[in-house]
Structure 1
């Protein structure tokens, strides 16, 4: 007699190419379990936009599962430590013989999963853990010394060398099963706070994610290397939010590239290869979470970075948050973040470097603000990006690299089109003036003067970082 399988969904909210779901469906009747831990997620810094997006995608998943006659059960637990006992109790009540789930890699999630697996085995339940979010489980790729990689380029080379077709083979969609007669669908509770953005910007569901992928591959991927740094252009995939909650898998993205690029990932046209590189970056940061768990605990990757003397400047921090620094590109980017729950990747680097280098404010302040607003907020990529910009992290920018926001603006928004789309009154200025308006133009637009002088800020940052890193370079 086939066993009853319990599949525990977390940040893998899809039916297609889902390792745990397919494995469970091949063994017997499937029951789905969804466990929103809104309280813990809020403690981890995830804001209303991310939690609302997760909720809407969980609802879309529930509808898909229902079409497959897979009932959805909901385990309400505000915190991770409530999950193991409650999950075992639910599995027993449902008559399940086995639990399946896809691994997650942040410290608290790993401890939760360890305790769940331990509790299930103690109760006589089989536990099947699957590698799904990454192509290589953390620890599979190591340096010649047997260590986790701490620099991206050698990691990426090892990733491409070791990648075999079997790792990219998608898991088929489960077949429709006979409807269980003793289990009914349960409603997924909404998060306690509504989103602060227009949620129509981010439609839920894997169908939307697949449509975005198809449009990107068809229309834009070949120009990605050329156009991706220009925020006024729609040149990126806009898939980061869907990847973060698993409405689409990286495997599905890589397979789309293979189909489009004559079976190649690392060569072929430059745009396609550059986009694959971004997917590998996402995986690299998941490996970092496991190999260097201090980054999960609000500590810098580089130990010597703990000596940096960050400034306590609450008014300047607030000006940065509100998009009132007096640097048009910075302020337009911050307003994009707050209004849409997303920021263009080039601008994430520029705004992060401005906060950490120009203002000398602790990167953790910026990391938290981003995570509180981003619809695509995810610990690995967000932490990795912030520590890169602050020169405290793995593969980080040298501390003496400081983006000049005005130079960046002229280079990547040459007509000031992006700036004018977010800053009131700037559409009336000519393109050249949008990057650095005169005092008279600022007054006419109600726009503030710069809160810091670039040259003075650069010298202050160089001396501060040099003092912290003097023995390490």
Structure 2
């Protein structure tokens, strides 16, 4: 582990530590609010988690650069307050052991993280802290409702979105959407001299040359969201996914805006809550299992060459190829096109949805396990609110409907209509019939 010099600090003075993870902001941050109100000097901490970073093959990963730049901005904000953020690279357990040797930590604050690895990590750190009688307190911050806050009349978790969204809206009120007034307590940050930030080289990466989406919410875009969101050639979506993923904006701020301006956009935010509560209440979905177990009986075709052509955007289906080119070039793909490309992989090529989910996890700037898993299982028919297995997107019809002038396709597939553009990798009619047969056999297997 490569660590950084510790703050110049008198060990006998007690501190509270706030551990930043998926909440990289000072404004309206639940756990940070409670830390600042604790009456103890608050020492901000961020860990470049070796356990996560070591799994990333691309050393110019855009997400690492986004995090690094965000931490750099946080440092500047904290310096204006006479404080700073302590940044380490290593495994969380090793970092915390070193931290506890150096400082008299009285309490630790953080926000909830619902992913399987995060759950295990937090359990390990909580045990470590408890051995020294240090409380580890975490709070809800990245969603409006979590875990089992919205339940059916039978006190079970919802597995269908529409009734969940109705219950969500009935429960939601000003209390749940109120921002935490963190700014009132900024004097509570631990006063320190500047602490150094590890270099990209230290954490094993190179800075990606990427222009990241703005975190500003454009009123006109939200107001027109229902009419524009399905057309990839227009800038009709917010591109806020990466900011929601890493918590550089407040979900409460966004939900208030959505309530005022667009029920359709509000539903997009509710989908996030829905998938997070699915991940929490049905943890098998985060461990490579189908939400509906019978779909694990599907005999996938899993042709590696065809998968590689899909990854490269060389399927001969223009809308699919445009989406994959956009993803590979930018780390973003329009949501309508995500559905088409996912459906194509699972149903036209009959390739296991987990392969596609893993590829999106590697490439997407806004990758979020709960939403990515939910979307892929929806496309494959194996998840909640799943598209019926017999509903198979026709990529040509989707292109005609949502990119009628071919603007999006021409932008991302300039080789279209040239000798360099491949013939379709598979015939639509053949693929549809093969898919229906494979799914019917799997779903009738245990009957």
**Partner residue of 1:389 out of 366, 379, 385:** 379
State whether residues 8 and 99 of structure 1, in contact with CA within 8 Å, keep that contact through their aligned partners in structure 2.
yes
Q: Which moved more, 1:187-196 or 1:218-227?
A: 187-196
Query: Are 2:44 and 1:32 equivalent residues in the alignment?
Result: yes
**Partner residue of 1:199 out of 210, 213, 224:** 210
TM-score, normalised on structure 1? Answer: 0.86
State whether residues 46 and 371 of structure 1, in contact with CA within 8 Å, keep that contact through their aligned partners in structure 2.
no
CA positional deviation for 1:37: 0.9
- Hey, what does 2:441 align to over in structure 1? 467
CA positional deviation for 1:115: 2.2
Give structure 2 stretches of 5+ with no counterpart: 1-11
CA positional deviation for 1:55: 2.1
CA positional deviation for 1:64: 1.8
State whether residues 147 and 280 of structure 2, in contact with CA within 8 Å, keep that contact through their aligned partners in structure 1.
yes
State whether residues 5 and 99 of structure 1, in contact with CA within 8 Å, keep that contact through their aligned partners in structure 2.
yes
Q: Hey, which bits of structure 1, 4+ residues long, moved more than 4 A?
A: 44-47, 178-184
Query: Are 2:30 and 1:19 equivalent residues in the alignment?
Result: yes
CA distance in structure 1 between the aligned counterparts of 2:28 and 2:368, rounded to whole angstroms: 21
Structure 2 CA distance for partners of 1:472 and 1:50, relative to 1, 3 Å: farther
CA distance in structure 1 between the aligned counterparts of 2:295 and 2:56, rounded to whole angstroms: 23
CA distance in structure 2 between the aligned counterparts of 1:371 and 1:113, rounded to whole angstroms: 22
Query: Are 2:334 and 1:333 equivalent residues in the alignment?
Result: no
**Partner residue of 2:196 out of 179, 186, 200:** 186
- Hey, what does 2:70 align to over in structure 1? 57
SS where residue 187 of structure 1 aligns?
Answer: coil
The number of equivalent residue pairs is 431
SS where residue 220 of structure 1 aligns?
Answer: helix
Structure 2 CA distance for partners of 1:46 and 1:172, relative to 1, 3 Å: farther
- Hey, what does 1:346 align to over in structure 2? 336
CA distance in structure 1 between the aligned counterparts of 2:356 and 2:253, rounded to whole angstroms: 32
State whether residues 84 and 192 of structure 2, in contact with CA within 8 Å, keep that contact through their aligned partners in structure 1.
no
SS where residue 97 of structure 1 aligns?
Answer: strand
Query: Are 2:116 and 1:101 equivalent residues in the alignment?
Result: no
Structure 2 CA distance for partners of 1:41 and 1:148, relative to 1, 3 Å: farther
State whether residues 357 and 402 of structure 1, in contact with CA within 8 Å, keep that contact through their aligned partners in structure 2.
yes
CA distance in structure 1 between the aligned counterparts of 2:424 and 2:324, rounded to whole angstroms: 15
Residues 295-320 of structure 1: CA deviation (Å, up to 9, x unaligned): 11111111001100001311111111
- Hey, what does 1:117 align to over in structure 2? 126
CA distance in structure 2 between the aligned counterparts of 1:403 and 1:468, rounded to whole angstroms: 20
Residues 416-447 of structure 1: CA deviation (Å, up to 9, x unaligned): 00001111244xxxxxxxxxxxxxx442xx21
Give structure 1 stretches of 5+ with no counterpart: 262-271, 427-440
Structure 2 CA distance for partners of 1:383 and 1:41, relative to 1, 3 Å: farther
**Partner residue of 1:458 out of 428, 432, 446:** 432
Query: Are 2:15 and 1:7 equivalent residues in the alignment?
Result: no
- Hey, what does 1:251 align to over in structure 2? 252
Query: Are 2:84 and 1:71 equivalent residues in the alignment?
Result: yes
State whether residues 330 and 347 of structure 1, in contact with CA within 8 Å, keep that contact through their aligned partners in structure 2.
yes
Residues 297-353 of structure 1: CA deviation (Å, up to 9, x unaligned): 111111001100001311111111111100111101100000010000000000000
Q: Which moved more, 1:139-148 or 1:350-359?
A: 139-148
CA distance in structure 2 between the aligned counterparts of 1:162 and 1:179, rounded to whole angstroms: 35
- Hey, what does 1:234 align to over in structure 2? 235
CA positional deviation for 1:178: 7.5
State whether residues 69 and 176 of structure 1, in contact with CA within 8 Å, keep that contact through their aligned partners in structure 2.
no
